[in-house]
Structure 1
Amino acid sequence: MTQALFYLMPPAATDAGPDPALTAMRLLACRLARQAYERQQLVYIHCQDKTAAFEIDELLWQFEPTAFVPHNLKGEGPLTGAPVEIGFDRLGPNKTRQLLINLADQAPAFAVNFGHIIDFVANDDSHKAVARERYKQYRNLGVALQTQDLATHPLNLV
């Protein structure tokens, strides 16, 4: 059975750009993708649209050289795909992957093809409402759901 973990984000810094909650979620998604890569897991980061996918791609390029995460946008890169693939279409990844990191507003129908899903709940009312809908969508897909409040149980990511 597919398992999803929703990270409840702590309040975002107000100096983190036009949408601090979204910026914090994207940065955490990249750090989690790096951690999964280090564990030799294949990752698919699902974005809302092409612009968001390019932003995630750029964030991953900004990691220190010692923290490089081999990645590519879906349809680019080697035929076998990089360990981390970034996409935004409704079809999902080109090959089987263990971890889905969802940054889209909807739970993708292909989510059930993964063993594990990571999703996020931003600490503001508009993002929370959208996350609640995704939570319901996952439940309707038969996904086992858990939450972790990062304000009280932070992650230890390098």
Structure 2
Amino acid sequence: MARIDFAFGAQDRLRTACEVVRKHHQQGRLLLIYCSQAEFLGQFDQLLWSFEPDAFIPHVDADDPLASCTPVLLTTRPPEPAMHTQADTQPVWLLNLDAACPPTAHQFERILEIVSLQQGDIEPARQRWLDYKNDGHELHAHDLSARKPT
């Protein structure tokens, strides 16, 4: 089963997700970012290019020809660690931006969840927490509400 880390209380879910991606990219981790809604994932894609003027996070769609040499992949398809060709050398972490649990959660060692203070974000996150718990995953909660906005 996966270890699921929920970061609750983010001021801005997508900006916080960008910061999380940057942190893990700098640590050399392979990341797969999942959201079944193409428009929402497209917004996140654009924000990854622009959230900080000096931040560079190489990322492409999992179906892009450059995916084999890119550490951060985005997908609207059910995520699988094998989408990363380097998955045989190191684990792939999943950042779930979808409203529901990824249908393939059991295939990942680590899943990251970001939850904002907006009510429309909190209720789906509570359901994901219950779904993960019922599936036997290891859950961890991190409170971001005391952090100063960047």
Give me the TM-score of the superposition, normalised by structure 1: 0.79
Q: What SS is found at the alignment partner of 2:43? A: helix
Question: In the TM superposition, what whole-angstrom CA distance separates every residue of 1:39-91 from its partner, at most 9, and x where no partner exists?
Answer: 00000111241111111111111144642001001211415141111112224
Total equivalences in the alignment: 144
More strand by share: 2
Q: What SS is found at the alignment partner of 2:57? A: coil
> Separation in 2 of the partners of 1:155 and 1:2?
30
Unaligned runs of 5+ in 2: none
Percent identity of equivalent pairs: 27
Q: Alpha-carbon deviation of 1:115?
A: 1.7
Q: What SS is found at the alignment partner of 1:54? A: helix
Q: 1:124 aligns with which of 100, 104, 118?
A: 118
> Separation in 1 of the partners of 2:131 and 2:101?
6
| Structure 1 residue ranges (4+ consecutive) displaced by more than 4 angstroms after TM superposition | none
| Structure 1 residues 98 and 29: alpha-carbon distance in aligned structure 2, compared to 1, 3 A threshold | same
> Separation in 2 of the partners of 1:91 and 1:64?
27
> Separation in 2 of the partners of 1:46 and 1:155?
27
| Structure 1 residues 140 and 76: alpha-carbon distance in aligned structure 2, compared to 1, 3 A threshold | same
Root-mean-square deviation (Å): 2.3
| Structure 1 residues 139 and 87: alpha-carbon distance in aligned structure 2, compared to 1, 3 A threshold | same
Q: What SS is found at the alignment partner of 1:9? A: strand
Unaligned runs of 5+ in 1: 13-23
The answer on 1:102 being equivalent to 2:99 is no
